[in-house]
Amino acid sequence: MMEPWQRLPALSLKQLQYFVTLAQLRHFTDTANRLAISQPALSSALRQTESVLGGKLVNRTASAVTLTELGVAILPHAERVLSIAQHAFSDMQQIVAAGGDGTVRIGLIPSVSSLLFPSLPEQLADAFPRLRLEFHDHTNDTLIARLLNGQIDFGIGALDSAVPPSLQTWPLQEDPFVAVMHRDDPAASSAHLQWKQLSGRELAVFSKGNIQRLVASLAQSQRLTLDIRYHVDYIETLYGLVRSRLAVAILPQLYTTHLCDPQLRVVQLQQPAMMRTVALMRSPQPLPPMIEACFDLLRQSLRGAL
């Protein structure tokens, strides 16, 4: 029986690397210099790649290199193949050099660390002592992109319209949106706050990830006028704006799990109640057996803990 890789087209990782580098630099001379090859060798490798794939990937003029429509479509797949190959080769080197079982790369959106730490990493390390564990913080959009291109093995993120159906997902819990207010704010004395009560207030949200997108979508659907005055990258900046009475912070409740500031109050947002679904995510591509076993243990542990 023929093995699967024997049926693959005659396309090497080097050829994919040449195409991806050219797509990034958009210049033949710079690409050849970066790869330490001659321009004729680069041109020949590109022609071979186009021949195997069955179409033209780049347009080359005297002043510029541009991707064809096919080249644009092929590029993310080529990047994903290279990323997976690089990580697999790194794991093989680790196995040979240190006698380990490789590396598992787990991506997290920042607010979900309370779901994992401190117990689950210790549980995974005890179950797989030869497996190296890496945890990577990402915004939700970056987490999804890195799952798709193979830079992380699996992750915990939030389900929204940006999650493609090609990713496998396991919902873990609903995470309601809350307002963080200064304790002296008259509205902070209530356990609940209607979204319409935020009209006319200066609001602060994270500039990256999907939170700003979700809040904007709710405002549009409910015909609310929300003044999102501050867009910040870090949670301490967000809380600092609230401490200074400059803004009301809007964020999912999981971010406030470890909030112990007596100056700040967490108030549930209602009418409508807005939730995001936190989920375990991965690509459907099979992983090495030890990493698959690690994923299964993580999935079972998270379901049992929530």
pLDDT digits (tens, 9 = 90+) for 28-59: 989 999 999 999 999 999 999 998 888 999 99
- CATH topology match: 13-83 vs 103-166+284-305: no
pLDDT tens per residue, range 60-108: 887 789 999 999 999 998 998 888 888 778 777 766 665 566 889 999 9
User: pTM of the full predicted structure?
Assistant: 0.70
d(CA 120, CA 124): 6
Q: Tokens 């993310």 — which residue?
A: 76
d(CA 115, CA 118): 9
pLDDT band of 160, cuts 50, 70, 90: confident
- Give the CATH class of 173-277: alpha beta
Q: What are phi and psi of 65, to 5 degrees?
A: -120, 125
Q: Tokens 């994923």 — which residue?
A: 295
Residue 231 has pLDDT above 90, yes or no: yes
Both tokens of residue 247? 């803004």
Both tokens of residue 93? 């080197």
- Give the CATH class of 103-166+284-305: alpha beta
The per-residue pLDDT for 99 is 55
Domain ranges of the chain: 13-83, 103-166+284-305, 173-277
pLDDT tens per residue, range 175-185: 999 999 999 99
- Our separate counts of H helices and E strands in the chain read 10, 12
Residue 32 · residue 44 · CB < 8 Å: no
> What topology is assigned to 13-83 in CATH?
Arc Repressor Mutant, subunit A (1.10.10)
The per-residue pLDDT for 61 is 80
